[in-house]
Amino acid sequence: MSTTPVIRIEDLSKRFVIRKEKSLKERLLNFGRSNLHKEDFWALRDVDLEIEAGTTVGLVGPNGSGKSTLLKTIGGIIQPTTGSVLLRGRLAALLELGAGFHPDLTGRENVYLNASILGLSRQTTDRYFDAIVEFSGIERFIDTQVKFYSSGMYVRLAFAVAVHVDPDILLVDEVLAVGDEPFQRKCLERIRTFQKEGRTIILVSHGLDQVAEFCDRAVVLENGRVAADGAPEDALMVLRADFEVARQADLARLAAASPQDAAAAARFTGISVRSDDSEGGRPVVDEGETITIAMEVRSDAELRDWSIEVGIATPLGNPLFVTTTEMLGIDLAPLQGTRQFTLTLPEVHLGSGDYAVRTTLRSGDGAEIHYVPVGAQFSVRTAGSSRGHVFMPAIFEAH
């Protein structure tokens, strides 16, 4: 695989001007002038990215963080306010539903129009036409105006065109999600083929597991800026942690609306992993050895009939192990104030890698009182005789 950048984004920013209705007071004060006032909104700020040929990059982030704006800027559909995008090679893009299709033209006419915009001659498109229609699976509607298409039919045809025009770079926004399951699977298979052929793909997705599975790299956008960029596992961990911060802030806001409940709410006030060894500040345990998870819980009001759940998850948040005080047959005494607890796992049989400890406080009916998805992290070291999240001794013999 070559390491030449095929996309170079430098210092890219995009400003939108939003027009808002003025309040009644503002209207009275500005009598006679427009009822709208303008506000600048920066959808992208100082984005620098270099994307190497042959990589699949997942663009992730909360709603409104600028993913589609970045993809459209790369696709040349919107112009940046500052900065530049340099591309090497033919680009095909699947952006907003309907982008690139003319509603009054038929599917057939749109295939030719689209292909010619992407630089294909009529003869070349003639050659690909049947394959495009077959891939799309909408033969019956190919001579219908696309304004009568369902959103799924739109995407089927648009994806079919995009993958048949021999692009070096493929941009795919969330649109694939509107296709039905068999079609999505077909698209993902095609994307895999593209990867093997060394093409470059940028994929916007809210499916973080999908990004982890398909992408070599993930870029996290938050408020128009790059918040993390790197191996999917690391970048997605940043995003998940930020989602959790936002969720806790939401909970805090809700709690602030009823301060009595907030003060009374029980919560974890400390979670750590103890082991004999550490690397770069992170506890490390050798396979087969012991770790101890220490927790501190605080409740200002008396907490009765409650339990603690402790889990171990991969950096991407997939749970591997869960136990609860209930499962362990332990009845926790009522709690008022602060108390410490430990859970000891005398033999850790995980594979090499990093893990997160997640903890949940639950009331007697199982309802969640406080959930901490990444309370602490630790690494496991093995002899290196296997890969995967579970460690098992392996003996190989010739007979």
Ligand X SMILES: Nc1ncnc2c1ncn2[C@@H]1O[C@H](COP(=O)(O)OP(=O)(O)OP(=O)(O)O)[C@@H](O)[C@H]1O
Residues that bind ligand X (CB under 6 A): 16, 18, 41, 43, 61, 63-69
Pick the closer one to ligand X by CB: 15 or 267: 15
* Helix, coil or strand: residue 302: strand
Note the helical H segments in 80-207. 107-117, 122-136, 151-164, 181-196
Pick the closer one to ligand X by CB: 75 or 375: 75
Pick the closer one to ligand X by CB: 16 or 148: 16
Pick the closer one to ligand X by CB: 17 or 28: 17
User: How many whole angstroms separate alpha carbon 238 and alpha carbon 224?
Assistant: 16
User: How many whole angstroms separate alpha carbon 107 and alpha carbon 351?
Assistant: 52
Pick the closer one to ligand X by CB: 172 or 285: 172
Helix (H) or strand (E) holding 37, with range, is strand 36-52
CB 48 within 8 A of CB 82: no
Min separation Cβ 49 and ligand X, Å:
15
Min separation Cβ 66 and ligand X, Å:
4
Pick the closer one to ligand X by CB: 43 or 161: 43
Pick the closer one to ligand X by CB: 177 or 390: 177
Pick the closer one to ligand X by CB: 204 or 313: 204
Min separation Cβ 42 and ligand X, Å:
9
Structure tokens at 157: 């045809």
User: How many whole angstroms separate alpha carbon 41 and alpha carbon 81?
Assistant: 11
Q: What is the DSSP string of 240-258?
A: HHHHHHHHHHHHHHHHHHS
User: How many whole angstroms separate alpha carbon 48 and alpha carbon 232?
Assistant: 18
**Nearest Cα residue to 6 out of 227, 204, 201, 235:** 201
Structure tokens at 164: 């048949």
User: How many whole angstroms separate alpha carbon 377 and alpha carbon 241?
Assistant: 12
User: How many whole angstroms separate alpha carbon 19 and alpha carbon 244?
Assistant: 32
Structure tokens at 174: 């969330």
Min separation Cβ 73 and ligand X, Å:
9
User: How many whole angstroms separate alpha carbon 104 and alpha carbon 115?
Assistant: 17
The residues pairing with 83 across neighbouring beta strands, listed in sequence order, are none
User: How many whole angstroms separate alpha carbon 361 and alpha carbon 367?
Assistant: 9
Min separation Cβ 240 and ligand X, Å:
16
Min separation Cβ 239 and ligand X, Å:
12
Min separation Cβ 12 and ligand X, Å:
13
Min separation Cβ 135 and ligand X, Å:
26
Pick the closer one to ligand X by CB: 68 or 110: 68
CB 158 within 8 A of CB 92: no
Min separation Cβ 67 and ligand X, Å:
4
Pick the closer one to ligand X by CB: 20 or 304: 20
Structure tokens at 263: 């003060």
Helix (H) or strand (E) holding 208, with range, is helix 208-214
Q: Identify the sign of the CA torsion 177, 178, 182, 184.
A: negative
Min separation Cβ 265 and ligand X, Å:
31
Count of Cβ atoms closer than 10 Å to residue 283 Cβ: 19
* Total residue count of the chain as it appears in this document: 399
